[in-house]
Structure 1
Amino acid sequence: MQKSWSLGVEEAGGDDQKYDEDGRFKRTGTVLTASAHIITAIIGSGVLSLAWAIAQLGSVAGPIAMLAFSVITLYTAFLLADCYRSPDGKRNYSYMDAVRTYLGGMKVKFCGVSQYATLVGAGIGYTITTAMSLEAIARTDCYHKHGRGAEGCIPSKRSSLLMFGGFGALEILLSQIPNFHRLSFLSIVAALMSFGYSSIGIALSAAKIAGGVDVETSVTGVPVGANHSTRDKMFSTFSALGNIALAFGFSLILIDIQDTLKSSPRERRAMKQASSIGILSATFFYLLCGILGYLAFGNAAPGNLLTDDHGFYEPYWLVDLANVCIIVHLVGAYQVVTQPVFAFVETWSRARWGGAKFITGEHTIRLPFLGNFSISLFRLVWRTAFVVFTTIVAMIFPFFNAILGLLGSIAFWPLTIYFPVEMYISRAKIPRLSFTWIWLQILSFFCFVVSVLAAVGSIHDLAKSVMHFKPFA
C-alpha cells in the first residue's frame, strides 16, 4: 500500500497511531523541527540591515540592544510556552486560544487583530523582499559585466512584475500544504538558507575589513551634521531600535509551533529548548553580521548588505548565491507566517458552515512517485486568492516594508511582551504588587515605550515613502 504524501519529517510514524488524546492527528514534531520553524521565522533578510541599525545607535549601544532584546524575547517565549496548555490540561491550538483561556474578553479580539494583521503584512513584505533579491541578482550581474553604475542595469518594470508573479505562483503551489505539521522539511531548508546568506554577509564583511578599510565609526553612531539633523538622528535611532526589537519577534506563531510537538509530559521543555536554540542562533548571527558589517562600512552602512545599491557586489557569484539563499528562505518563511492565517480562516469556516461539502470535503489524487495527496477545493480557492491578494498588494505598494515596520512595531509589545506576561501572571496566580508582579510590569512598560518609539520611526519612514509613491514601481 502506498503512503500518503507529506512534506514533513514529522510524519515518520506508522499508520497505527494516527490521533492524539483530543482526537486530532498525532503530532510527531521534535526539538529539531520546532527549532527550524523558529529560525525560519526569526532570521530573515533583516539580519543584513543590522549593520545599519548599529550605525544609527553606535558601536556600543547597538550590540547591547541586540543582547537585551535577545534575553527579553527568550524570557517571554518561556512564559508563553508555559501557557500552551490550560490549567485542566487542554491544549490551546493557537495564540488566540491561549489568550481566551487565561485572559478572555476584548483582549482576545485585540490579540487576533494584532497577530493576523502582522502575519498578513509579513507575507506581503516577504513578497517584496524576494523581488528585491531577484532584482539584486540581475543588477549585480549587469554591474559585473558593464561596470558599477552602468546605465541599463536597473531591472525594467515589466521584469520586476514578472518576478513578483513568479514568486506568487510558487507560493500558490506550496500553500496547498495542509497545515503547520507538514512544513518541517520546508522549514529546515529555509533555516539552512538563512544560515547561508548570513554567513556570506559575515564573510564578505570580514574580507573587506581584512583588506583594509578607511571608514568612519563612532560610539554614538552617525553624527549630527549638515546632512543629518538632530531630527533625523532621533528618527533613525527610533527606527534602529524597532528593527532590532522586531528582528527577534516570533512569539505570534510560538503556540502554533508548539502545537506540532509530540504530546508528552516534557512538551514545554521541548519548546523551551527549541526557543533557546532558535534565539541563541539568531543572536550569534545578528551580532556577527551587524558588528562586522558596521566595521566594514562604518556610519555609511547600507540598509541591506546584499541588495542595497551601496552594499556588496563582488565577487558577484557569491553575492548572487547569497541572494538565492534569501529567496529560498523567504519561500519557506512565507508559508511559516501564513499557515496560522490559513488555519484561522479554515477553522472559522468549518465552524460556521460545517455542513457544506465545499468547505469540509477532501479529495485524494495520486501523484507519480509521490503517492496520494489530499486536495480540498475550499483550501485551493481560498489560499490561492490569499496569495494573489498579497502579491498584488506587493506590486502596487513597493514601499509596503515601511507599512510592515509600522505593523510590526505596533504588534511587538502586545504579542511578544504584554500577553505572555499577563497570561503567566494569571496562570501562576502571582499576587498584585508582589516583587515578581512589579518586575514583570516594569519589563512590560519598558518594551511598550520601545514599541511606541519604533512606531514613531516607522511613521516617519512611511511618510517619506508615500511622498515618492508610484504604483507598480
Structure 2
Amino acid sequence: MADHVSLNVPDESTCFDDDGRPKRSGTILTASAHIITAVISCGVLSLAWATAQLGWIAGPSVLILFSFVTYYTSVLLSDCYRIEDQLTGRRNYTYMEVVQSYLGGGHVISCGVIQYINLVGVAIGYTISSSISMVAVKRSSYFHNNGHDAACNVSRTPYVIMFGVLEMILSQILNFGKILWLSIAAAVMSFTYSAIGLGLGVAKVAQIGKIQGSITGNRTGTEIDKVWKSFQALGAIAFAYSYSDILIEIQDTLKSPPAEAKTMKKATGISLAVTTLLYMLCGCFGYAAFGDESPENLLTRFGFYDPYWLLDIANIAIVIHLVGAYQVSCQPLFIFVEKKAVEWYPDSKFITKEIHIPIHGYKPFKLNFFRLIWRTIFVITTTIISVLMPFFNNIVDILGAFEFWPLTVFFPIEMYIVKNNIAKWSGKWICLQLLSGACLVISIAAAVGSFAGLVSDLKVYKPFK
C-alpha cells in the first residue's frame, strides 16, 4: 500500500533557481513591458520641442543616433549579467553588483552615487510631470467652457500631494515580479498618450496644410540662446532613452534557460525599435505642426485645445503611466537600502521582522515596519521637492545629461572590455573608447545647456505659484 501513496510534494527544482532564490518567470513580453514603461515616459512629450531646437536634419538624426548607442551599450551590459558562462555563471542581481564584479574599487561607489541620485531625480521628475498633467485636465475643461484666452490659474500642489499619497501605498509592493501588472498597464498608457499626441500633430499639419520648421531649427532668440537650447535638447533626448540604470534589475526577473542575456537582447531590440519609431513620429509631427513655437510639453502647454476630451484622456493616461513608471524606477533604490539595512543590523527585529496580514482570497500581505517607514519617507521627500521645483523640462534635461554617459555608455563599455579581455590599444578597444569619449562630450554639452535653462527659469520663479 505504501508504494502507492503520493504526497504531491512539488520538486524543489521547480520552485527555486540555481542560486536558491525563488524561481523566476520573466519572458521577452514581461521584460519588454518593463523596458517600455521605463523608456517611454514623460520624456516623449518634450521631443517636439527638442526637435525644434535642432532642426529637420539634426533632430531626427540625433534621435536615431541615441537609439543605436543605447541598444549597443545595453547589449554589452546584458552580457555582463552572469560571470563567465551565460547559463551557469554566477548572477549579478543589480547594476552595482555587476560593476563590483568587473571593475570594483571606486567605480562601485561612483556608480551607486550616480545611479541612485538619478533614480531620486526620476521620481521627482515623474511627480512633477503627473501633477502638470492633472492640472492640464482641469484647465482644458475650463478653456472649453470659457474660451481659449480665459485666465485659468490652478495650483499644482494638491495634485502633487495626491500623486504622492498614491505612491506611498504602491511603494509597499516588494519587487519587480510583483508589479508586472502595473508595468503592462503603464506600457499601454504610454502608447495611448503618445498615439494621441501623434494624432493631434498629424491633424494640425493637415489643418494648416503645410509642414512647419526649418533645416537649422529654432530661429527665435539670440545666437547664444540657440546654442544653449540645442545643448538642452540633447539632454531631453538622452532622458527619453534612459533606462540602463534598471536594466540589470529587469534582466534578473527573466527565467533561464534560455540565457537571460539572449532574452534581454531580444526584448531590448523590440522595445527600442518600437520606442524609436514612436519618438520619431511624435517629435517630427509635433515640430511639423508648431515649428519654432513647439511647446515644451506637447499635451500640457496647450499647443492643442480641442477636442478637449481627447486631451483629457491623454493626460489621464500620462498620470496612470507615471504611477507605474515611478515604481519601476524606484524599486532598485528601495531594494538596495533594505538589503544594506539587513546587512548592517541583522539582529534588529524592526528591520527584519515580517508580519503576515491575511487577505481573504489572496496571499497574506507581508508588513515590515522598516520598509513601511523608509519608503514612506522617501515618497514624502520627493513629493516636497516636486512642490518646490516645478520645472518639467529642466529636470528632464538635467537627468538625461547626468545619467547618459556614465550609466548608459561608460560602465557597460568598461565592463565589456574587462569581461572579454580586450587588449588595450587594439582596434576594438580604440573604437569603444572613441564612442565613450564622444558620448561624454555630448553629455557635458547637454548638462551645460540644461543648467543654463534652469538658471534662466529660476530668475522668474515664485514658489507655490
Give your verdict on TM over 0.5: yes
1:358 is matched with: 350
The SS at the match of 2:56 is coil
Kindly, what percent of the aligned residue pairs are identical? 51
2:316 corresponds to which residue?
A: 324
| Letter matched to residue 263 of structure 1 | S
Offset from partner CA, 1:205-260 (integer Å, 9 cap, x none) = 1111122246742111112xxx5100011001101122112211111100000011
| 8 Å Cα contact 2:42/2:126 also seen in 1 | no
Query: Is 1:80–2:61 an aligned residue pair?
Result: no
Find the counterpart in structure 2 of residue 178 from structure 1.
174
In the alignment, what sits opposite 1:61? 58
Look up the match of 2:183.
187
Which of 372, 383, 394 is equivalent to 1:391? Answer: 383
Paired residues of 1:124 and 1:400 also in contact (CA < 8 A): no
Letter in 1 for 2:344: R
Structure 1 residue 365 displacement after superposition: 1.1
The residue type equivalent to 2:162 in the other structure is G
Aligned to 2:218: 222
Task: Determine the C-alpha separation between the residues in 2 that align with 1:411 and 1:293.
Answer: 26
Moved over 4 A (4+): 13-16, 213-216
- Give the AA of the match of 2:454: L
Counterpart of 1:199?
195
Tell me how far apart the structure 2 counterparts of residues 284 and 24 of structure 1 sit (CA, whole Å).
38
Alignment-derived partner of residue 270 in structure 2 = 277
Are the aligned partners of 2:394 and 2:453 in contact in 1 as well (CA < 8 Å)? Answer: yes
Query: Could you tell me how far 1:45 is from its partner in structure 2?
Result: 1.8
Determine if contact 2:129/2:392 at 8 Å carries over to the other structure.
no
1:23 to 1, 8, 20: 20
TM-score (norm: length of structure 1): 0.93
1:257 and 2:254 correspond: no
Kept in 2, the 8 Å contact 1:394–1:400? The answer is no
Aligned residues: 453
- Give the 5 Å matches for 1:276-315: 276-309=269-302, 311-315=303-307
Q: What amino acid maps onto 1:197 in structure 2?
A: Y
The structure 1 residue matched to 2:159, chosen from 159, 163, 169, is 163
Structure 1 residues 410-448: Cα deviation after superposition (integer angstroms, max 9, x where no partner)? 221010000000000000101111111111011101100
Read off the aligned partner of 1:99 and give its amino acid letter.
V
Report what 2:145 is aligned to. 145
Q: Which residue of 2 aligns with 1:344?
A: 336
| Cα separation, 2, equivalents of 1:233 and 1:161 | 32
Instruction: Provide the rounded CA distance (Å) in 1 between the counterparts of 2:163 and 2:457.
Output: 24
Which letter maps to 1:163? Y
Matching residue within 424, 431, 446 for 1:432:
424
* Contact 2:52-2:217 within 8 A present in 1 as well: yes
Counterpart CA distance in 2 for 1:408 and 1:63 is 18
- Comparing 79-88 and 361-370, the one that deviates more: 361-370
Match of 1:69, SS?
helix
Deviations 1:326-365 (A, max 9, x none): 0000000000111011001000001001111111111111
Which residue does 1:4 correspond to in 2? none
Match of 1:417 in 2: 409
Residue 456 of structure 1: CA displacement? 0.4
The alpha-carbon distance between structure 1 residues 172 and 117, as it changes in their structure 2 partners (threshold 3 A), is same
Q: 1:209 aligns with which of 199, 205, 209?
A: 205
Q: Which is worse superposed, 396-405 or 73-82?
A: 396-405
Mind listing any 5+ residue stretches in structure 2 that lack a counterpart?
A: 1-9
Classify the secondary structure of the residue corresponding to 2:271: helix
Contact 1:103–1:423 (8 Å) recurs in 2:
yes
Offset at 1:469?
Answer: 2.7
The secondary structure found in structure 1 opposite 2:173 is coil
* Residues 397 and 472, structure 1, Cα contact 8 Å, conserved in 2: no
Match of 1:3 in 2: none
Matches of 1:452 and 1:347, distance apart in 2: 33
User: TM-score scaled to structure 2, two decimals?
Assistant: 0.94
Q: Distance in 2 between matches of 1:243 and 1:128?
A: 15
